Structure 1
Amino acid sequence: MSLPGSGAVPPREIDPDTMRKVLGHYPTGVVVVTAVHGGEPVGMAVGSFTSVSLRPALVGFFPDSSSTTWPRIREAGAFCVNVLGEDHQDVCRLFATRGADKFGALSWEPGPTGSPVLRQAISWIDCTLENVQEAGDHFLALGRVVDLSARSGGGPLIFYRGGYGGLRLAS
């Protein structure tokens, strides 16, 4: 059985720059995914994080296959998703920079899995790595939630059309 419209349009190669430009019109939250590998904290900025399931509690993110940090997080087998606040553009840029001393000026504490929970984060989700699937030039990393918490404070950091901002809800 085929779905209506399936196969009606043959697949074509989409230009990556066009894809990035068009999808840039969709706002995304910004998180830092952290872990401990070889006794050292590691982390990376991620703009593709999502809730997947409530039962069981699962979350997911999509690390780039060319990331040098992702293999260390994968090998650690556990990670913490740190949701950045609207005033944490500098933290995002730090974790997006290859080779930077990402934890030198930041305070953190180990979460239940041992993964770093950034004190700057407005919320955090500590996970064990449940599953990894290839997804084009990225991976889909699924995490089983071990513990999580939200702190009071401002709104989330949002990435939209190549820039950062906050979220203002209508009252």
Structure 2
Amino acid sequence: MGEVPAANQTAVAVKDDLRSVMRNFATGVCVVSTFSDRASPRRHNALTVNSLTSVSLDPPLVSLNIRRDSTFLDDLMESQVWAISILDAEAEDLARIFSRPEQDRRKALCTLPAEPGKETGALLLDSVAWMECRYRNHVVAGDHLLIIGEVVGLGVNDSRSPLIFLQGGFHRIGLDQV
């Protein structure tokens, strides 16, 4: 019986190695929210991500990477708007809630304090900083979609310490350590 072709072995090894390498790159953690108006009433959806990147200051653009098979992505592409709540060190529970399956995330949105953003209507959670975005463009990138949005609203709530994701876990850094 056949051996696994060398090209496939290399692809698997690179995938595993890339995951190991990227575990050593610290990122912030945020919850991205959007909605669908396909049914009434409006149905909100949210997802924990650590792929937020500033792309441009003029115009103000940011990007997210979301799996192409995600129902969250379907909602985001339908509404063309989203809100980003950048989590503080005390919000690990929120990060974990919005990492769960879709039904759990939707249920949590009905019980957690959140308010619709003034520019997009997407929900904002209590967080250290926030942004509201409108769809600008996207790029297919393997099993993900790189989504670029124009920032249409933003703010900073206070100087709480950020929540960090590193080596597969959540960490806190005091602002005096930065």
Q: Same fold judged by TM-score > 0.5?
A: yes
Q: Aligned-pair distance for 1:36? A: 2.1
1:170 aligns with 2:165: no
1:16 aligns with 2:23: no
TM-score, structure 1 normalization? 0.87
Where 1:113 maps in the other structure, the secondary structure is: coil
Amino acid at match of 1:25: N
Q: Which aligned pairs between 1:1-171 and structure 2 lie closer than 5 A?
A: 13=11, 14-38=13-37, 39-98=42-101, 99-100=103-104, 101-111=107-117, 112-118=119-125, 120-168=126-174, 169-170=176-177
Q: Aligned partners of 2:50 and 2:114: how far apart in 1?
A: 21
Q: Which moved more, 1:138-147 or 1:65-74?
A: 65-74
Amino acid at match of 2:121: G
Unaligned 5+ residue runs, structure 1? Answer: 1-11
Residues 118-153 of structure 1 show CA distances to partners (whole Å, capped at 9, x for unaligned) of 1x2111110101111101111110010101000114
Q: Aligned-pair distance for 1:155? A: 1.2
Q: Aligned-pair distance for 1:81? A: 0.9
Q: Aligned-pair distance for 1:22? A: 1.4
Contact 1:31 1:46 in 2 (8 A): yes
Q: Aligned partners of 1:86 and 1:170: how far apart in 2?
A: 13
TM-score, structure 2 normalization? 0.84
Residue 6 of structure 2 aligns with which residue?
Answer: none
Q: Aligned partners of 1:102 and 1:94: how far apart in 2?
A: 7
Q: Aligned partners of 1:52 and 1:157: how far apart in 2?
A: 21
Q: Aligned partners of 1:87 and 1:74: how far apart in 2?
A: 30
Contact 1:43 1:102 in 2 (8 A): no
Q: Aligned partners of 1:40 and 1:137: how far apart in 2?
A: 25
The structure where helix makes up a greater share of residues is 2
Q: Aligned partners of 1:40 and 1:90: how far apart in 2?
A: 22
Q: Aligned-pair distance for 1:15? A: 3.4
Q: Aligned partners of 1:63 and 1:34: how far apart in 2?
A: 12
Contact 1:49 1:61 in 2 (8 A): yes
Q: Aligned partners of 1:21 and 1:94: how far apart in 2?
A: 25
Q: Aligned-pair distance for 1:68? A: 2.1
Contact 1:81 1:125 in 2 (8 A): yes
Q: Aligned partners of 1:66 and 1:160: how far apart in 2?
A: 25
Residue 6 of structure 1 aligns with which residue?
Answer: none
Identical amino acids, percent of aligned pairs: 31
Q: Aligned-pair distance for 1:40? A: 1.6
